[in-house]
Amino acid sequence: MKLTTKQKQAIDLLTDNVTDYIGYGGSAGGGKSVLGCLWLMELGYYLPGAKFFIGRDSIKDTRASVLKTWSEIASKIKFTAYKFNDIGIVFDNGTEIELLDLTYYPYKDPLFERLGSKEYTAGWIEEASQVHYLAYEVLKTRVGRWKNETVKSKILCTFNPKKNWVDSTFYRPFINKKEAENVRFIYALPTDNPYLPKDYIKRLHELKDESTKQRLLFGNFDYDDDPTALIDYSQISEMWERKPILSGIKYITGDIARFGSDKAVIMVWQGFAILEIVTFDISSTTEIQNAIRALAVKYGVLLGNIVCDEDGVGGGVVDSLRCKGFVNNSSPIEPTYSNLKSECGYKLAEMFDLISINANVTEDKKDIINTELGQLKTYDSDKDGKLKILPKEKIKENIGRSPDYLDNFIMRMYFLIKPVSKGIRKISY
Kindly report the CATH number assigned to the domain that includes residue 370.
3.30.420.240
Q: Are 403 and 375 in contact (CB under 8 A)?
A: yes
Give me the pLDDT at residue 28, please. 77
Q: Does one domain contain both 162 and 243? A: no
Provide, rounded to the nearest whole percent, the portion of the chain with pLDDT above 90: 58
Residue 72 maps to a domain:
yes
Q: Are 41 and 74 in contact (CB under 8 A)?
A: yes
Which one, of 196, 307, 312, 228, lies nearest residue 262 by Cα?
Answer: 312
Q: Does one domain contain both 197 and 245? A: no
pLDDT, tens digit (0-9, with 9 covering 90-100), for 374-397: 889 999 866 678 999 999 988 887
Q: Does one domain contain both 47 and 120? A: yes
Q: Does one domain contain both 201 and 237? A: no
> To which H or E segment does residue 306 belong?
strand 306-309
Mean pLDDT of the chain: 88
Among 44-58, 179-193, 219-233, 411-425, whose mean pLDDT is lowest?
411-425
Q: Does one domain contain both 344 and 381? A: yes
Q: Does one domain contain both 201 and 239? A: no
Q: Rounded CA gap, 384 and 405, in Å?
A: 30
pLDDT, tens digit (0-9, with 9 covering 90-100), for 197-222: 778 888 888 887 777 788 778 888 87
Separation in Å, CA 97 to CA 124, 256, 402: 10, 45, 41
Q: Does one domain contain both 197 and 262? A: no
Q: Does one domain contain both 255 and 336? A: yes
Radius of gyration of the chain (CA): 24
Identity at 271, one-letter amino acid code: G
Residue 284 maps to a domain:
yes
Q: How confident is the model at residue 429 (pLDDT cuts 50, 70, 90)?
A: very low
In this structure, what DSSP letter does residue 377 have? B
Please state the domain count of the chain: 2
Q: Does one domain contain both 365 and 402? A: yes
Residue 60 maps to a domain:
yes
> Phi and psi for 414 in degrees, rounded to 5?
-55, -40
> What's the whole-number mean pLDDT along residues 270-283?
90
pTM: 0.57
Give me the pLDDT at residue 381, please. 61
Separation in Å, CA 413 to CA 72, 240, 306, 419: 48, 19, 12, 12
* Domain interval for residue 53: 5-208
Which long-range contacts does 237-242 make (Cβ < 8 Å, 24+ apart)?
237/129, 237/162, 237/163, 237/164, 237/370, 238/164, 238/353, 239/352, 239/355, 239/356, 239/357, 240/104, 240/357, 240/366, 241/104, 241/132, 241/133, 241/164, 242/355, 242/356, 242/357
Q: Does one domain contain both 26 and 153? A: yes
Give the list of residues 6+ apart from residue 155 with CB closer than 8 angstroms, or none: 20, 21, 22, 122, 123, 124, 125, 136, 139, 140, 143
The CATH number linked to 144 is 3.40.50.300
pLDDT, tens digit (0-9, with 9 covering 90-100), for 388-424: 999 998 888 777 678 999 999 999 999 999 855 544 4
Query: Does residue 159 surpass a pLDDT of 90?
Result: yes
Q: Does one domain contain both 23 and 165? A: yes
